[in-house]
Chains A and B, each alone.
Chain A
Amino acid sequence: MSTTTSPGTGVAPPGTVAAALRLTAYWSTVFRRTWRGGVVSALLTPLLYVVAMGVLLGGFVRADAAELEGATSYLAFVAPGLLAAHAMQMVIGETTYPVMSGVKWNKTYYAMHAAPIGIGAIVLAHLVFVGLRTLLACAAFVAVLTPFGLFATWYAPLLTVAVQVLVVGAFAAPVYAFSAGLDNEWAFNLLFRLGMIPMFLFSGAFFPVANLAAPLELLAKLTPLWHGVDLTRMVALGTVDAGAVVVHVAYLALLTAVGGWLAVRRLGARMVH
């Protein structure tokens, strides 16, 4: 064995994207190891939700389209909301414990950082992995929904999946930033109980937020999930309001950008000192 020459000699160090690409082997190994469990939940969970909430519970709901934000049935109303809410839950799951594992339990991030991989690349690769995985699950969800005949056009299912990119970013980046700086995982329970579950229940996935008292309605409309739900529903049902779309896209994109910036800062502060 010769150890005197380096394959990196004379080669410029990689940029953030190139370095993140070097982590492909790692993340694809993680994917190969875990996709089986994901497939069951990606196909079965939406089906159970749609049957229980949309078909069975929805069977008791008598409301016209005006009351359901343009949806012709409760099933059509609730299904896009469930998709966005499901994306949020998946993303939060993927950016809490796995991030803690990277900095604390398995210290995989430290191993990466000992190699020529910068903090930005570590964050980018993990977020892209979470995004791809969640979008894959969302595509499965939409494939399950399509036979129920909810979508306004043939391309609505594709657009519905595409806008989940914004939902993914708006949750993945800020939650990653939150997790990256935590010493202890107990705070995840606060995030789940005080953030995720109330958002899941009250951000317009199950009922129009106009039914809430005015201050609570305002509060609901400030949550990223409401923007995601409303955007998803408009795209799925073909009830697009251009002004609202601009606001939703801008709000979710802003959260992604600020969250990403914070994530790099907080992970850097933790690992490089």
Chain B
Amino acid sequence: MTEHLGSGSAVAGDVLIHARDLRKSFGSFEAVRGIDVDVPRGQAFGFLGPNGAGKSSTMRMVAAVSPPTSGTLRILGMDPSTHSSAIKARIGVCPQEDTLDLELTVRDNLVVYARYFGIPRRAARERADELLDFVQLGDKAGAMVDDLSGGMKRRLTIARSLVNRPEILLLDEPTTGLDPQARHVVWDRLFRLKAEGVTLVLTTHYMDEAEQLCDRLVVMDKGRIAADGSPAELVREHVAREVAEIRFAAADGSHVDLAERVAGFAERVEVLPDRLLLYSADGERAVADVHAAGLTPSTTLVRRASLEDVFLRLTGRTLVD
């Protein structure tokens, strides 16, 4: 890969994506406010965050279609502001919205796209058939894209992003809007790519997706990185092992008042609109303490803490749409 180090900035080891104090502003709005990221080859890396956290802006910078406002960004050792075409030749992009050509057949979408990369016609056709098999759309090769289901379109978009055998595959919310079966098919294909050594970078606001797919992830909030680590590390660092979810009837008083009364029974208490979350090493014990204090919750549930708890803790409860 050394022939691509045109920027003069050497990258340590095999770090495919390297960002330092990366920023992106649109007018007076600062979408990305100084993030540091390093993605080594072969890793599945996730950007988590609520809508408006700066994930998509970051992805567009990494895809070399949006110049950074300031900071350092190197993709495959190259500066995207000066080597965008060389970078794009070696990455695959699966955008949030499908940009398939609805009036072409499934197969022609792949063949035509392969030609954008200068792949010869014959090789493009072979590659198209290979990829259709890979995403299990071989029997739909001659269908028009308009006739595919949402899940099939997504798989075709993923297939299309692989035509140039990319070293990095960027996936912006790869399963948003898909039904559970379709999501599992997509996840399975992404697992296979990962096993083949493709570096995956994805954004998502599905915690289960992040837990399933990512070796490492960062939680973004308001343009900054709020936390960084493997899914297990994040749970360990930011929340207790177990969570007791406790609901009270409206007559018992406001949740804020009740939260004060149970505060001593857990490491931390979160107030949700409909329930209290008690973070504790022993959830059953916390529930027992609540009852012992003379409180009578209408329902209780003890579960293991998940990435979702980390996410809610770090990015706040306010619903951002």
Contacts and interface: CB of A to CB of B under 8 A. Distances in A.
Contacts of A10: 3-4
A25 B111 contact: yes
Q: Interface majority SS on B: helix, strand, loop or mixed?
A: loop
Interface in B76-127: 83-86, 88-90, 93, 95, 97, 99-104, 108, 111-113, 115-119, 121, 123-124
A3 interface: yes
A239 interface: no
A121 to B, nearest CB: 10
A7 B165 contact: yes
Given A14-B85, A107-B97, A116-B85, A1 B112 contact: no
Contact of A115 (B4, B88, B111, B131): B88
B115 A25 contact: yes
A183 to B, nearest CB: 16
How big is the B interface, by class? 35 or more
B139 interface: no
A6 B65 contact: no
B116 A7 contact: no
Taking each of A12, A111, A118, A271, which has the highest tally of chain B beta carbons within 10 Å of its own beta carbon?
A111
B196 A108 contact: no
A116 B88 contact: yes
Given A13-B85, A22-B116, A111-B99, A6 B166 contact: yes
Interface string A1-39: 111111111111110000100111110010001000000
A7 B117 contact: yes
Given A3-B193, A4-B196, A7-B165, A107 B90 contact: no
A102 to B, nearest CB: 10
A14 B112 CA distance: 17
B112 A25 contact: yes
B40 interface: no
How big is the A interface, by class? 35 or more
A25 B111 CA distance: 8
Given A1-B196, A29-B108, A272 B165 contact: no
B118 A7 contact: yes
B67 interface: yes
B164 interface: yes
Interface string B53-90: 00000000001011100000000000000011110111
Interface in A189-239: none
Contacts of B100: 111
A106 interface: yes
A116 B117 contact: yes
Contact of A6 (B101, B113, B124, B164): B164
B197 interface: yes
A273 B101 contact: no
Taking each of B83, B100, B116, B124, which has the highest tally of chain A beta carbons within 10 Å of its own beta carbon?
B116
B167 interface: yes
B88 A114 contact: yes
B48 interface: no
Which 4 pairs from chain A and chain B are nearest by CB?
Answer: A13-B85, A8-B89, A115-B116, A25-B115
Interface of B: 1, 3-4, 26, 63, 65-67, 83-86, 88-90, 93, 95, 97, 99-104, 108, 111-113, 115-119, 121, 123-124, 130-131, 134, 160, 162, 164-167, 193, 196-198
Given A8-B117, A8-B164, A271-B65, 14 more contacts: A4-B167, A14-B85, A29-B108, A107-B97, A107-B99, A110-B99, A111-B160, A112-B116, A114-B63, A114-B99, A115-B117, A117-B116, A118-B85, A273-B26
18 contacts: A3-B197, A4-B167, A6-B164, A8-B118, A22-B118, A25-B111, A25-B112, A26-B112, A33-B103, A33-B104, A114-B63, A115-B164, A116-B88, A116-B89, A116-B117, A116-B118, A271-B65, A272-B65
